[in-house]
Structure 1
Amino acid sequence: MDSMWSKVDLSAVGVGRQSGGALINALQAGEGLLMFLRWQAIYAMLTAAAGESGVALDAVDRRVVDVFASVSREVAIALRIAASTADRQAHLAVEAFERLPQVARLMRDGVISVAAFGEVMLQTTGVEDADMIAAVDATTAADLREFGGVSRKDASDVARRAVAELDPDGLRARREARGKGVTVSTDVDGADVLIATTVQDAAVIDASIDAVADSVCADDTRTRGIRRHDAAVALLTRSEFGCSCGNPECTATASAGVVADRFASVVVHVVADASTLSGESEKAGWLDGFGVLDAHHVREIAARTDAVIRPLDIAGLADRAARAGDPYRPTTACDTAVRAVFGTCSEPGCARPAWRCDLDHVCEFDHDRPAAGGATCVCNLNPKCRFHNRRGQIHIDDRERRHVPDHHPRRRRRTPALRQLRRRQRVPTRGEGRRLPRRRRTQPYPRAGDLVRRHRPRTAVHVLARRGSANRRGASCTDRTGWSRRCDTTV
């Protein structure tokens, strides 16, 4: 027998008239509406069962089969799912209609996805006060509404920032309660080593392992995961990490001196407001590779003996954002500011940390006539991971050059501070290959670790300083098509 859904006319929402990404975007919005209606039905079942039992949903029910257990069993039968999955659906229903109603309505309206709502719920689980969760819900919904497209990482960061600024004491208490430790577990075939530590120390460990693992030559036969394992073991046991290429003349061996030099380039970046470091405000900070930090956590990191604090004057970038001898490359301050603004790769859905990305011109830089367009400034640069940066340089076929709707996430930047500009897509000439070009192990822009060298890993805290006018305006930017705009830098 045919389902009744096969007879529903979906042309009103674009199904049948749209294709490609626009159709997928419309269908995802429909998924959010259907899930909202499902949770609404489950929540009605919970309230009805609670009314019959005389027990409130937020009360402690010590019966063997409580309200949630009875409703979850009925949900499991209806959806043909496991009891644990049905129990999660029941808790999501309560979150959507009691704790996070405004964020849930964004899911209903297609602004965020079902998975994004789950990330928001995860970040707000520890907030117990009713007034506090209401404020977090309102703040998170207002911030998410400013995005052109919300990925799971975006939703998680926005919710965590709201919690960090509205409930910093609670977030700090939960962070300290997590504790530290090292656990070694074994099974029949091997063993696992788990290190529970702070996010800043984990970032230093991760970058240190990468620094040693990348010291091999291009002919090394191991995968990156195996190289990282061997590098971690070598660091912990103080043994030598060598290349597995098999070439007797290969000099790619991580001796003690090489490891010390590699560690000199390890930098963990934290971005914070000057008022946060001084204790005047509780504005959240940002740790590259992790995400949002509460204000107290930022001050703890800044107090470390290996922390290097560098004031970053964003307003001053309107005077000079490109290097004097090379207008294609940004200054160190401009490079840091762009990475700090985005936090991750600017491609929608990509969570690659900004300091592990390349910087890309939104409007293509004109090497023949630098003054003609594609200026090197904060508003015309964005970070892209190596994959997405290469993808923009190879052939873009007709399917990828389709129209992007206004609500598509590629229309806006990841942060509302600066406006996103569509990058002009280059069409290859006749006979140009479609294969991904092979690149050497070089970076088009210097990593922050190359700027200052010391003989141990460091934590760089970039402080957003403010001076002068609240809004500094620079020259207009023009690409090769003649399209121009104003270059605005807002502090």
Structure 2
Amino acid sequence: MERLRAIRHGESFLAWCRYESIVTVYDQLVIDTSGGFFIDRYSEMVTRLCREAAITRYQADQWVGEALALRDRLPKVLTTLRDGILSRQLIQTVISRTDLISDAATIADLDTEIESILRHRTGAWTRVKLRDMVDRLVFRHDPDAVRERRREALDKRGMWIENFTDGTGEITGVMAAENIRIAAKAVKALADTVCAHDGRNRNQRNSDAMFALLTGTVFDCQCRREQCAAEIPDPAKVVRSVSTEAVIHVVTDAATLAGAPGIGWVDGHGIVSDEHVRDLAERPDATITPVTPVRTAPTRVVAVRPTTKTSDGPDSPVEPRSADAPPADMVIVFPGAQSADPYRPTAACSDFVRVRDGYCTEPGCRCSAFDADLDHVTEYDRTNPTQGGSTSSENLNAKCRFGHLHKTFGDWVDVQYRDDDGRLVTEYRTPEGFVIPGDAENLEDSFPNLRRIRYEQPPQAPPTPRVIAGDDTPPTPNRLAQKHARRRAERARNKPQRLADQADPPPF
């Protein structure tokens, strides 16, 4: 595992070396852009690169464009590639999400802030988390550019087709992000009505269902069985059903919704502008729900060290408080478990955890938290609940179905805790003891007020389980109980070392 990590860092360093070499060749060949020689000299440079690497001219041109953007616009971000913090694929994400910034001073400030977050934030960066982080900063530095970009993008919406030489073709539609989600759900809803014996794979069924929806034709199961039990609805009924049942989760601050500058986050899309958020809120079918239960009083309000910043800095601006709102250094605590079943979180707690996480917490997974399971990080012990993990927002996180099953039946151990800065940190430990950091961010970084909310298990103890034995011999612990005990012991053994590392972190 250490070697794999070193290889990943080495690949990033080699990509940095290539960018450095490209700009060196560029400076030697494309030195004078006057007199109409720019295209010829640039072509000479690209030709050298594509022939040396045996790649297409388009690929070589992409390498050159990235190298120049990093040198001239994002020199500090480029150093994170050299030091193995980002890969080339993630660097491409930063380049593409900052290309709308034209002001030199703004891009310089943005370069500094992105580099600072990448260096000082522990955890792994996935493409979607990095995209959301960069979009959040871009909007804060130049919100007018983001709004104008959205208007231009909506003006360019349309439909295009392309015919392939093998008798197939492609249809592309560009529309608002929320309409894409509704259309995709309608296609999948119709495609999933076939029986289990249909011979098409998911993509093939989606293609046929999309054609049926667009043309109003019949969509049939292709199992060719007389006893087929599939009930295929009329495509028009599917569209009407989905349009009224599709749920698009949007997260934002109350102040942004009321008209203040800010950002929003759309499930399955990422960061959007405040203007886009308000457009969604004004839809006649929109439902606005606070993340805290309106009919449930908090169990208590506790003071903590402030974890958000009220001045301009790496965190989003703090939401303005009303006169009766608790101070910014207070945490509001609500009940997190159902009174009848301490294992199950309340609906408000479940929604909050999904809002906070945004995505599956497995490193590299892009699954939405709203499509994922909720997992007790420290396992809830049904046999002896007083020894197991609590049903609280601090001990729950979102995991995709595969990640949840792997946690349940595998031998990995994961932990979740808050660091000295108040950020929620997840870590995964392999059966061999190798520690893999979780994601570097969640939606608390975009909406810092989420850090002020907690859901905790009620103080009353759950009922003691009843154990019936035929003799005085104590019952033998089953495999699950043994696994829980082993994980508790390993977490207890690793906690002192983690606290020591937090107090005296190793040099970078």
**Aligned residue number for residue 403 of structure 1:** 433
Q: Could you report, residue by residue, the CA deviation over 1:131-188 in whole angstroms, capped at 9, with x for unpaired residues?
A: 1212222232233331411123332222222222322221222222232222344445
**Aligned residue number for residue 12 of structure 1:** none
**Aligned residue number for residue 206 of structure 1:** 184
Counterpart CA distance in 2 for 1:241 and 1:346 is 37
Counterpart CA distance in 2 for 1:358 and 1:222 is 28
Q: Alignment partner of 2:375: what SS?
A: strand
Counterpart CA distance in 2 for 1:159 and 1:465 is 16
Aligned 8 A contact 2:160 2:171 in 1: yes
Residue type of the alignment partner of 1:34: L
Counterpart CA distance in 2 for 1:286 and 1:397 is 31
Q: Alignment partner of 1:319: what SS?
A: strand
Which residues of 2 match residues 247-396 of structure 1 at below 5 A? Answer: 247-248=226-227, 250=229, 252-255=231-234, 264-282=244-262, 284-313=263-292, 316=298, 318-396=333-411
Aligned 8 A contact 1:68 1:87 in 2: no
Aligned 8 A contact 1:313 1:465 in 2: no
Which residues of 2 match residues 91-130 of structure 1 at below 5 A? Answer: 91-130=65-104
Counterpart CA distance in 1 for 2:181 and 2:123 is 30
Change (3 A) 1:225 1:109: same
> Which one is further off, 252-261 or 147-156?
252-261
Q: Alignment partner of 1:324: what SS?
A: coil
Q: Alignment partner of 1:254: what SS?
A: coil
Aligned 8 A contact 2:22 2:64 in 1: yes
Counterpart CA distance in 1 for 2:163 and 2:193 is 30
Residue type of the alignment partner of 1:100: L
Aligned 8 A contact 1:153 1:349 in 2: no
Q: Alignment partner of 1:348: what SS?
A: coil
Q: Could you report, residue by residue, the CA deviation over 1:48-87 in whole angstroms, capped at 9, with x for unpaired residues?
A: 4455x3x4xxxx8842645533333333344443333332
Q: Could you report, residue by residue, the CA deviation over 1:379-434 in whole angstroms, capped at 9, with x for unpaired residues?
A: 222222222222223345999522224xx333x5542849xxxxxxxxxxxxxxxx
Aligned 8 A contact 2:129 2:442 in 1: no
Q: Could you report, residue by residue, the CA deviation over 1:217-276 in whole angstroms, capped at 9, with x for unpaired residues?
A: 434333212222233233333345444443536253224667655655421111111121
| 1:86 aligns to 2:101 (yes or no) | no
Residue type of the alignment partner of 2:370: W
Aligned 8 A contact 2:393 2:455 in 1: no
Change (3 A) 1:241 1:368: farther
Change (3 A) 1:147 1:217: farther
> Aligned-pair distance for 1:117?
0.5
Counterpart CA distance in 1 for 2:50 and 2:62 is 10
Counterpart CA distance in 2 for 1:367 and 1:61 is 79
> Aligned-pair distance for 1:309?
0.9
Q: Could you report, residue by residue, the CA deviation over 1:13-60 in whole angstroms, capped at 9, with x for unpaired residues?
A: xxxxxxxx2211111112222222222232233334455x3x4xxxx8
> Aligned-pair distance for 1:377?
1.7
Q: Alignment partner of 2:374: what SS?
A: strand
**Aligned residue number for residue 5 of structure 2:** 25
Aligned 8 A contact 1:164 1:295 in 2: no
Change (3 A) 1:173 1:347: same
**Aligned residue number for residue 35 of structure 1:** 15
Counterpart CA distance in 2 for 1:330 and 1:383 is 13
Gaps of 5+ in 1: 1-20, 419-462, 486-491
Counterpart CA distance in 2 for 1:351 and 1:388 is 12
**Aligned residue number for residue 220 of structure 1:** 198
| 1:180 aligns to 2:153 (yes or no) | no
> Aligned-pair distance for 1:107?
1.2
Counterpart CA distance in 2 for 1:45 and 1:413 is 36
Which residues of 2 match residues 61-80 of structure 1 at below 5 A? Answer: 62-63=36-37, 65-80=39-54
Gaps of 5+ in 2: 299-331, 414-428, 460-483, 496-508
Change (3 A) 1:324 1:237: farther
Change (3 A) 1:195 1:81: closer
**Aligned residue number for residue 114 of structure 2:** 140
Counterpart CA distance in 2 for 1:82 and 1:121 is 21
Change (3 A) 1:62 1:338: farther
Query: What percentage of aligned pairs have identical amino acids?
Result: 31
Compute the RMSD of aligned alpha carbons: 3.4
1:44 aligned residue (24, 35, 42): 24
Residue type of the alignment partner of 1:174: R
Q: TM-score by structure 2 length?
A: 0.71
> Which one is further off, 130-139 or 395-404?
395-404
**Aligned residue number for residue 238 of structure 1:** 216
Aligned 8 A contact 1:274 1:465 in 2: no
> Aligned-pair distance for 1:99?
0.6
Q: RCO greater where, 1 or 2, for CA within 8 Å and sep 6 or more? A: 1
User: Across the two proteins, how many residue pairs are aligned to each other?
Assistant: 409
